[in-house]
A = this chain, B = another copy of it.
Amino acid sequence: MSAPNVQLLLTGNELMTGDIVDSNSAMMAQILKELGLKVNRKVTVADDLALLVSEITYMASTSDLLIINGGLGPTVDDLTAQALALALGVELSQHPQALSHLTHWCLQRGTELNAPNLKQAILPKGCQIIANSRGSAVGFYVRYKDCDIYCTPGVPHELKAMLIEQIVPLIAKKIPSDLITEVTRLQVFGLGESSLQKAIDEQLPNWPTEIELGFRAGMPLLEIKLTTNTKQGLALKSLWQKKLVKVLGDHLIAEVQGKPKSLAEHLLNQLQQHNIKVTTAESCTGGLIASKLTEISGSSSSFEAGFVTYSNEMKTAMLDVPASVLAQEGAVSEAVVIAMAQGALLKSKADIAIAVSGIAGPNGGSKDKPVGTVWFAWGRLGDIKTQCLQLPYKRRQFQQFVAAIGLDLLRRYQQNLTTIPNYIAERAFPPQ
């Protein structure tokens, strides 16, 4: 049996003006996913009766499950009940259960049951009430043109409670038992979407159609999603996931379990496990690396100090970078980042350091050191590695990317990884 066609109809002027961002449909999709259901189509319209009637009519005829969200409130622009009645060709009438819910609701709150409230009990004839434990607006259900239609409130916490408490159990009863969905997410750093697609095309040309591959480009982490909906897919998945993991190599940061972690969080977890302290010496990123680390709760156990040394004078004053080295080599140089890392390690007594100095632009570049040039130094006292890259991004993206690479270099250092990451292979400067 094929998967049910699921559609969402979202209503509300506020969704059309851009004044609010629709988070309800993402919540609904997440909840439906746990039932193995995929949302096929989503339509959003303003509070316009004719438009609502036409959308409901069309959507009911093309889907097995239609959830209508919003428009259940007491004001004149709440039109869902009226639109649904017109689409079904039935009358509106006062629903006794809805009236009793409203009466009880007002009584509990010591308010009067007024005319606008009463409107919330006027529903399409023959519909079934769905209880709302959080608000005055009851939901309702009808079956029409072989489609299950649920009308739900727009207030997010009311919607969520109604879905979980009432609607999910109703839907679950109707789901074909052979529907399975399994999703695996992999976090990757240092491989762009197109490089990754190319690597998969070349190295895994027979990727099975039963395993859907999806990419989500984040800054800086890329997320790869493997989704299976069939038993065949499930049987193939662990083998192909292993093959993919091999292609990803050390660019794989982690398989996501629950809420995705940031690069800084992965690094901090490693450092905490081994009781290692880290320090930062930042020029071109101006505190961004320190800020990414201290964003994480509990970071104080592995991070005590960071040095933002933006000018040459301050590199000398705060980190003892010799003025002569700065004069001879320039601030963006291997000798300077090494001295910055050493200075930070000595001053902070941390175990490992990351130092960066680069030209974020748009000004400050030269022929030898164009905008986008950045030197990294990282490691322990007596074991400091260096690398120069050319990262041709605009200022803010450059800083974000430099910070991410700095954290990734420390992650690789900590894990003793010796493979060359893609960002070094592609961005080393001068080109190797």
Contacts and interface: CB of A to CB of B under 8 A. Distances in A.
A246 interface: no
Interface stretch (A123-131, A268-276, A287-295): A287-295
A291 B287 contact: yes
Nearest to A28: B18
Contact of A197 (B116, B201, B213, B426): B116
B18 A25 contact: yes
Interface in A214-252: 214-217, 225
Nearest to A196: B75
A285 interface: yes
Interface stretch (A172-180, A299-307, A375-383, A410-418): A299-307
A207 to B, nearest CB: 10
A99 to B, nearest CB: 15
A282 B33 CA distance: 42
A300 B358 CA distance: 13
B193 A75 contact: yes
- For chain A, which range describes its interface: under 10, 10 to 19, 20 to 34, or 35 or more residues? 35 or more
Contact of A306 (B213, B303, B308, B317): B308
Contacts of A23: 21
Contacts of A215: 75, 77
Interface of A: 13-23, 25-30, 33, 38-46, 48, 51, 73-77, 108-111, 114-117, 136, 155, 193-195, 197-198, 201, 212-217, 225, 280, 282, 284-291, 293-295, 297-300, 303-311, 313-314, 317-318, 347-348, 360-363, 390, 392, 395-396, 399, 426-427, 431
26 contacts: A15-B42, A16-B39, A16-B42, A18-B25, A18-B27, A18-B33, A19-B214, A21-B21, A25-B44, A41-B44, A41-B46, A42-B44, A73-B217, A75-B197, A76-B213, A109-B392, A282-B287, A285-B291, A288-B291, A294-B399, A297-B361, A297-B395, A299-B310, A300-B310, A300-B311, A304-B314
